[in-house]
Structure 1
Amino acid sequence: MTHNSLHTKRFISLDLARGMMLLLVALAHASLYAGSTLLSRPESMHSMDTILNYISVFVVDNRARPMFAFLFGYGLTLIVASYLKRNRTIRDAKMSLYRRALYLMIFGFFLSVIVGGQDILAIYGAALLCITWLIFKSDKVLKRAIAIISALFVVILPVMWGSMAVMLQEENALQLTYTSYSENLSSQFMQFITGGPFLGNLALPIVVSLLLGIWAGRKKLLNEQPDHKPLLKKVAIIGITVSILGAIPQALYSNGIIELGPLFSGLIFSLHMITGIIGGVSYAAIFGLIGPKLIQKELFVRPITALGKRSLTFFMLNEALLVVFLSTYTLNLGETFGLTVSWSIAFGIWLLALLIATILEKKQLNGPMDHLFRKLVHRKPREEKQGIA
């Protein structure tokens, strides 16, 4: 989510995708404050809520997160390439990634436990700790790992979510928000120290999207090269189709059109999640296609790409503001006014982020959290330190 310099060559497709991704993530998390759970949508207060519930299932839920992870994986290949271009060793690159993983978990701890926001940073950090070694393996090993891990999740997810739905039958919910700050603090702290970020990677197939992003980064699929357009078009068309078809059962169930037992509700949620990986990748492909065409339209593009360059800062800011406006222990606008208001607030927060990011871009300043993260992660090689000494 962070980058080496504001002045190095960047790809507009990546920054555009990251900027739009922040909107999708904000909308997904706003739904949780409106009464959504991982297995169901919030109750509609009026027809607009119903429309947004369907839009969310087809476009946002379990699709924003895979896109996020895919872009994260893609960025890792750029980081490694940057290290090697500067004649740094593979060991230096590996240690940089391990530090990145560690500090993602620390930043995630701060966001989820102290701030009380919906976090995915720590889960990404845990995933990166587990797969860093694969980044330096051959394409053959990487593709084999993707195939094996994907096959495992096809088995794990239905079993896990089906079992979870059965266990939650009496409560009929999987609550992700809390009634007080102290309750959130204690619960999130216990989840974290008992391995929550690592267990989260079993319930959410982050690793698959991450590895797909690494593979795409090796092939430079989003580097705005014309010869990649045919493949990106195929991925976009097939991916969107699969994503929509895979969302239909979840849309019907979560909006109360059909009734299913808890076991089947867990199974169709798994289908929604698995097809969402393909959907998230297709979103990235779409931005890979449209990014180069938007270069001339700076008035429209610059604010979003400025936001994408500072995605860590504004992800954390957006989540903190969602807590302030929507959480049950603050202003509680989410459950009080429902999904339409919650999404409107999330969209307003994203617009505010666009404004601030544009100002930072004009002043050629990084986001403060991006700057801190980069300062913590990057280390000078031992030889340079000795030379300075």
Structure 2
Amino acid sequence: MSESPPAAGPIDNSERVHVLDALRGFALLGVFLSNSLNWFNGRLLLPREQALALGAPPLEVAVNSLFALLVEQKFVTLFTLLFGLGFALQMSRAEGRGTSVVPVYRRRLLVLMGIGLVHMFAIWFGDILTTYAVVGFLLLLFRQRSEKTVLVCAALFLFVVPIGFSVGQRVLPALTGGAAEVERAQKATREEEARRRAAYLAGLSSDSVVTTQQANARYGWDSIPNPNRPVLLSIILGRFLLGVWAGRRGLLQDVERHRPLLRKLTAWGMGVGGVIGLVVMGINLALLGATSVPGWVVWMRVVKDVGILFLGVGYAAAFALLFQKERWKKVLGVFTPAGRMALTLYLMQSVLSLCLYDGWGLGMVGRTPPSLTALLSVVLFAGQVAFSHWWLARFRFGPVEWLWRSLTYGRMQSLRGVSSPASAAN
């Protein structure tokens, strides 16, 4: 009689790929900065004139410019790539056990979606977990496809679909004579969005927790039917697939074997992404304070997305190469525990930010300049890193990771455990 395959369960700490954990923790810092500078501090909710005045001093212009060049969307891209790579690892480990990845993976996504929905409506509307869960189901369609097919489909969803969507939105109406009507509809949409954001900001400024969270839930619900959502979902799926391809190739699991390719990815990613980022930054500075924006600037979104992808890939490759050097490993390894409990810290960032910015907390929403927001984010994240070191020296998982695993596998996981201060950071 043949032996039955071992039951699925969480991997042991000795099986973890530590560079991936460290890279995930590093990405989480950039995600927190992005969410704080764009949303938590209320910048994108302010009227344009007020937002410009808050960011007008030279220091704030410099901080905003560096943020747009080096951080904005790059770390979200990195985080998304790691999600796809994680799927490839789960698939290979399931195959190694002689089992299918599908049942456990589906349960993981369903639980993640549940956590995301609670986060979206009860805490902060900008949740990304629900989107990851929805798009994550599509990865199952590619689990038996070749590396070439995965890479081609990644390019299709990253570039072809967004460009085609933009052309359909803007060029076709002009060709069919409906451009004026489309422009009126877009103007009405912008005005409605400005009204919704003003109401949301007013709700966040309230000294009542109930009022702020009602405003959050209302804004989150109204944001679901977004005309640009197909582009967002396409780009996320493309990044997932790029991560799947990297995971199958073992780019970050076996850095030494892929060192030449990783060096090329670092050079091309930093080079192309950096040049595009500088061009976009120059255009933004030239148009700073302009009352109207030229129509051609809209098409820069496609170019900007290319630069974001290249720089995100460059960050990942450079991080992996540096992690192989003993001195750098000690420095970058500080992020490892944060990466192991990234879900807990991501949710914690939302809660901490509500306490900091909402009216019932310190009431700083709409008042903090970019420099102060960035400083507060870095300080809070440093505290999170310290907390993750302390926690994982005593427990196997982060608290939300423990809940996620327990619900996924249908049995309570052992939380007390095996980590030591040394192993948590390595």
Which TM-score band (shorter chain)? 0.7 to 0.9
**Residues 155 and 133 (structure 1), Cα distance of their counterparts in 2 relative to 1, 3 Å cut:** same
The answer to whether 1:46 aligns with 2:46 is no
* TM-score computed with the length of structure 1 as normaliser: 0.84
Residue number in structure 1 paired with 2:162: 153
Residue deviations 1:196-218 (CA, integer Å, cap 9, x gap): 7x974523611111110000000
TM superposition shift of 1:137: 1.8
* TM-score computed with the length of structure 2 as normaliser: 0.77
Q: Partner letter of residue 282 of structure 1?
A: G
**Residues 94 and 75 (structure 1), Cα distance of their counterparts in 2 relative to 1, 3 Å cut:** same
The answer to whether 1:233 aligns with 2:263 is yes
Residue number in structure 2 paired with 1:179: 202
**Aligned pair partner of 1:10 in 5, 16, 21:** 16
**Residues 331 and 118 (structure 1), Cα distance of their counterparts in 2 relative to 1, 3 Å cut:** farther
Residue number in structure 2 paired with 1:318: 349
Q: Partner letter of residue 348 of structure 2?
A: L
Give the count of matched residue pairs.
370
**Residues 220 and 114 (structure 1), Cα distance of their counterparts in 2 relative to 1, 3 Å cut:** same
The percent of aligned pairs where both chains have the same amino acid is 21
The answer to whether 1:213 aligns with 2:234 is no
The answer to whether 1:376 aligns with 2:407 is yes
* 8 Å Cα contact 1:108/1:122 also seen in 2: yes
Per chain length, whose mean CA-contact separation is higher, i.e. which structure has more relative contact order (CA < 8 Å, sep 6+)? 1
The answer to whether 1:113 aligns with 2:138 is no
Residue deviations 1:244-291 (CA, integer Å, cap 9, x gap): 222234323444546563643432233212321222122111121111
* 8 Å Cα contact 1:233/1:286 also seen in 2: yes
Residue number in structure 1 paired with 2:308: 276
Residue deviations 1:93-140 (CA, integer Å, cap 9, x gap): 112222222222222211121012531111111111223211232223
Residue deviations 1:18-54 (CA, integer Å, cap 9, x gap): 111111001001112344449x995315222111101
Residue number in structure 2 paired with 1:385: none
**Aligned pair partner of 1:124 in 113, 117, 132:** 132
**Aligned pair partner of 2:104 in 93, 96, 108:** 96
* 8 Å Cα contact 1:99/1:377 also seen in 2: yes
d(CA) in 2 for partners of 1:262, 1:328: 37
Residue deviations 1:330-349 (CA, integer Å, cap 9, x gap): 43324212111111111122
Name the larger-Rg structure: 2
d(CA) in 1 for partners of 2:354, 2:294: 30
TM superposition shift of 1:59: 0.9
Between 241-250 and 107-116, the greater mean CA deviation after superposition: 241-250
Residue deviations 1:51-100 (CA, integer Å, cap 9, x gap): 11011111111211111100111111111122222222x2xx11222222
**Aligned pair partner of 2:232 in 173, 180, 203:** 203
* 8 Å Cα contact 1:98/1:132 also seen in 2: no
d(CA) in 2 for partners of 1:133, 1:213: 15
d(CA) in 2 for partners of 1:279, 1:332: 35
Q: State the SS of the aligned residue for 2:334.
A: helix
* 8 Å Cα contact 2:36/2:373 also seen in 1: yes
**Aligned pair partner of 1:30 in 33, 36, 45:** 36
**Residues 172 and 99 (structure 1), Cα distance of their counterparts in 2 relative to 1, 3 Å cut:** closer
d(CA) in 2 for partners of 1:199, 1:329: 33
d(CA) in 2 for partners of 1:236, 1:161: 35
* 8 Å Cα contact 1:178/1:328 also seen in 2: no
**Aligned pair partner of 2:93 in 67, 79, 82:** 82
Residue segments in structure 1 that go unaligned for 5+ positions in a row: 381-389
**Residues 297 and 139 (structure 1), Cα distance of their counterparts in 2 relative to 1, 3 Å cut:** closer
Q: State the SS of the aligned residue for 2:145.
A: coil
* 8 Å Cα contact 1:35/1:335 also seen in 2: yes
Q: State the SS of the aligned residue for 1:359.
A: helix
Superposed counterparts of 1:204-353, under 5 Å: 205-255=235-285, 257=287, 259=290, 261=293, 263-294=295-326, 298=330, 300-327=331-358, 330-353=361-384
* 8 Å Cα contact 1:96/1:378 also seen in 2: yes
**Residues 257 and 306 (structure 1), Cα distance of their counterparts in 2 relative to 1, 3 Å cut:** same
**Aligned pair partner of 1:58 in 65, 69, 88:** 69
Q: Partner letter of residue 129 of structure 2?
A: L
* 8 Å Cα contact 2:42/2:201 also seen in 1: no
**Residues 316 and 199 (structure 1), Cα distance of their counterparts in 2 relative to 1, 3 Å cut:** farther
Residue number in structure 2 paired with 1:384: none
Q: Partner letter of residue 147 of structure 1?
A: A
d(CA) in 1 for partners of 2:190, 2:321: 44
* 8 Å Cα contact 2:126/2:220 also seen in 1: no
**Residues 232 and 297 (structure 1), Cα distance of their counterparts in 2 relative to 1, 3 Å cut:** closer
**Residues 159 and 121 (structure 1), Cα distance of their counterparts in 2 relative to 1, 3 Å cut:** farther
